[in-house]
Chains A and B, each alone.
Chain A
Amino acid sequence: MIKLLKIEFKKIRTYKVFWILTGLYFVFLAAGILLAEFMINHIVNNVNSRMPIPFPHVAIYYFPDVWQNVAFFASIRYVLIFPAIIMIILITNEFTYKTIRQNVINGMSKTEFLASKLLIILLMAVIMSIVLAAGAFFIGLSHSGLSEVDFFIKGIPFMVGFFISLLCYMVYAFFCGFILRNTGLSIAIFTLYSLIIEPVIYFIFRAPFMFKNTIYTYLPVNSVIRLTEYPAIPMLKKIMGVNLQEHVSLTACLIPIAYSAIMIVTVFLIMKRKDL
């Protein structure tokens, strides 16, 4: 396992495209999270200009809400698409440059090849989740200090939820790249599906606010994105009268995990039969 990761690391260590996209991902992620409060308050200001009684400004970076809010903004589809594209490039490169053939010729089994790619997905998801958790921790710390008792416990489910989102979404991307084998085509189809086709399906099958379990709930990309479905904004809680989301539901996690499992099994079966 360590050996496979060593090989994968050699493949990406000096690969500029990988590091540029990873860098861009973190820039977008940080910008999205740090600008969220400003943008929400901008909307509040706009609304207030037409209201007799002004809404208070929102604060989203306080413990323990910061965990949920960071997880929410990090799993927005426009941000999550970056690690997915990275994964598509890493797998389709192997077909484009026929290095998958060469790896097998040189004595890697087909199973090991797939395992090495899944391991790099796992490692990337772990590292990115840790970076995000650390970021959320420091944002929370700089806004509220360590006064809240449950500041940490409440964070765990949302960070684990984000990890599952990222992991499963990258597995989807890996699956797409493996099936299509062509970098441009895979990125185009994956992006089109994630950013346009599923939202269109949403408009067709959308359920009234807060009602769940429509077909949409079970669509692969949506099930990933909606693990952290709502941000934790105190004002929103007040208006709705209920807290929209207390934690990440385990059953919600099972949907993307099931999709990922099916995809991984399919990839192994195809790899076993198909000629390289």
Chain B
Amino acid sequence: MAEPILNVENLSKSFGKIKAVNQLSFEVTKGQVFGILGPNGSGKTTTLSMLLDLIQPDSGSFQWFGQPPSKGSRKRIGSVIESPNFFPYLDAVTNLKIVADIKDKPYNDIADILQAAGLYERRLSKFKTFSFGMRQRLAVASALLGNPEVLILDEPTNGLDPQGIAQIRDIIAMVASRGSTILLASHLLDEVQKICNYVVVLRKGVMLFSGNVKEVLAVSDSIELAASDNQGLATAISEYPGFSSLTESDGIIQVHFSQPADTAAINSFLSQKGIILSHLADKKRSLEQHFLELLQDNK
């Protein structure tokens, strides 16, 4: 069994009448790239804020590294929550030194981290002169100070241009390859699917799913078929391995499979059964569409 990094048990928080987080439980083990996926307002940031002692939970508890939360555990975690928070009138190096001081870490990796974030040339510029993308990169850089065991990122690519997104993702990939545990909150299914291997899906503070990304976010493919004899076609295709269900409308049969289906194989399978297709189309649902359906189903 992998070493537990974070245990969350029945965590709840309300703001007035709104239940921001409701009975949330999950576990993160060492080396996981753990995604918290949910639309805006689903309680992702509230959850992370509670885990970092910024917000007091109404009920429930959590443990970092198998111990009750403390400032000591926070020093082992690098985090970016919401916007990058730095003193605008201080330069990048001074801002990072303050972070290092708080974390009891030496200054010697500041230069390397600024290099990795592509900010070394601007290290003595005041934070307020930085562009949006540079600010975000400095925030990620500060989270990497002192090589933390856990990296928490809240919407790290929010508002960035494609190049900025790619840079941040490269950094995450690099950190993950070192064996650090990553906790990533995002409203972008695509992002979670590309980066994470475990995920919890939140909606209005309630956990809908949790588990392996491939299982939870598995995309069921469907294929459109039509032939002169649609009834014979329906009978034949139901014998195809991995078949799960079909619907017929306007003379076109839509077939769902529990595993990815190959159109060429289906075509030859059906022709062996003596069915000549007049229409064959691969209908992959977009990931975003799937995510929306996932949320819809649980209304």
Residues of A with Cβ closer than 8 Å to B? Answer: 3, 6-7, 10-11, 13-17, 93, 97-99, 101-110, 112, 273, 275-276
B87 in the interface, Cβ–Cβ < 8 Å? Answer: yes
The answer to whether A14 and B85 have CB atoms under 8 Å apart is no
Binds A, one of B1-9, B91-99, B208-216, B264-272: B91-99
Instruction: Known A3-B101, A276-B55; judge A105-B79 contact (CB<8 A).
Output: yes
B74 in the interface, Cβ–Cβ < 8 Å? Answer: yes
Closest A residue to B94 by CB, please name it.
A10
Please pick, from A6, A13, A101, A107, the residue contacting B54 in the complex, using a CB distance under 8 A.
A101
Give chain A residues whose Cβ lies under 8 Å from the Cβ of B56.
Answer: 273, 275
Give chain A residues whose Cβ lies under 8 Å from the Cβ of B53.
Answer: 104, 110
The answer to whether A101 and B85 have CB atoms under 8 Å apart is yes
The answer to whether B97 and A102 have CB atoms under 8 Å apart is no
The answer to whether B102 and A106 have CB atoms under 8 Å apart is yes
Instruction: Known A93-B87, A103-B102, A109-B71; judge A10-B54 contact (CB<8 A).
Output: no
Q: How far is the CB of B226 from chain A (nearest CB, A)?
A: 58
The answer to whether A14 and B86 have CB atoms under 8 Å apart is no
Give chain A residues whose Cβ lies under 8 Å from the Cβ of B90.
Answer: 10-11, 14-15
> Which 9 residue pairs are nearest across A and B when measured between Cβ atoms?
A107-B75, A102-B85, A107-B74, A98-B85, A275-B55, A109-B71, A106-B102, A276-B54, A7-B101
The answer to whether B54 and A104 have CB atoms under 8 Å apart is yes
The answer to whether B85 and A99 have CB atoms under 8 Å apart is yes
A112 to B70, CA, bound (A): 13
Closest B residue to A111 by CB, please name it.
B71
A104 to B88, CA, bound (A): 18
Identify which of residues 158-174 in chain B touch chain A, using a CB-to-CB cut-off of 8 Å: none
User: Could you list 30 examples of A-B contacts with CB < 8 Å?
Assistant: A7-B98, A7-B102, A10-B90, A10-B97, A10-B98, A11-B87, A13-B94, A14-B89, A14-B91, A14-B94, A15-B89, A16-B89, A93-B87, A97-B87, A98-B82, A98-B83, A98-B85, A103-B102, A104-B54, A105-B52, A105-B54, A105-B79, A105-B81, A106-B102, A107-B71, A107-B77, A107-B104, A108-B71, A275-B55, A275-B56
Q: How far is the CB of B118 from chain A (nearest CB, A)?
A: 21
Give chain B residues whose Cβ lies under 8 Å from the Cβ of A13.
Answer: 94
The answer to whether B87 and A99 have CB atoms under 8 Å apart is yes
Instruction: Known A107-B72, A273-B56; judge A6-B101 contact (CB<8 A).
Output: yes
Interface string of B145-183 (1 = CB under 8 A from A): 000000000000000000000000000000000000000
A108 to B79, CA, bound (A): 13
The answer to whether A102 and B86 have CB atoms under 8 Å apart is yes
Say whether chain A's binding surface is mostly helix, strand, loop, or mixed: helix
Instruction: Known A275-B54, A275-B55, A276-B55; judge A112-B86 contact (CB<8 A).
Output: no
Give chain B residues whose Cβ lies under 8 Å from the Cβ of A10.
Answer: 90, 94, 97-98, 101
Closest A residue to B79 by CB, please name it.
A105
Give chain A residues whose Cβ lies under 8 Å from the Cβ of B102.
Answer: 7, 103, 106-108
B19 in the interface, Cβ–Cβ < 8 Å? Answer: no
Q: How far is the CB of B268 from chain A (nearest CB, A)?
A: 58
The answer to whether B103 and A106 have CB atoms under 8 Å apart is yes
Give chain A residues whose Cβ lies under 8 Å from the Cβ of B88.
Answer: 97
The answer to whether A97 and B86 have CB atoms under 8 Å apart is yes
Give chain B residues whose Cβ lies under 8 Å from the Cβ of A276.
Answer: 54-55
A10 to B95, CA, bound (A): 8
A11-B90, A17-B89, A99-B87 are known; give 19 further A-B pairs, CB within 8 A: A11-B87, A14-B91, A93-B87, A98-B85, A99-B85, A102-B85, A104-B74, A105-B54, A106-B102, A107-B71, A107-B72, A107-B77, A107-B102, A107-B104, A108-B71, A273-B56, A275-B49, A275-B55, A276-B54
A11 to B71, CA, bound (A): 21
Give chain B residues whose Cβ lies under 8 Å from the Cβ of A102.
Answer: 85-86, 99
The answer to whether A11 and B98 have CB atoms under 8 Å apart is yes
Give chain A residues whose Cβ lies under 8 Å from the Cβ of B81.
Answer: 101, 105
Q: How far is the CB of A246 from chain B (nearest CB, A)?
A: 46
Give chain A residues whose Cβ lies under 8 Å from the Cβ of B74.
Answer: 104-107
Closest A residue to B82 by CB, please name it.
A98
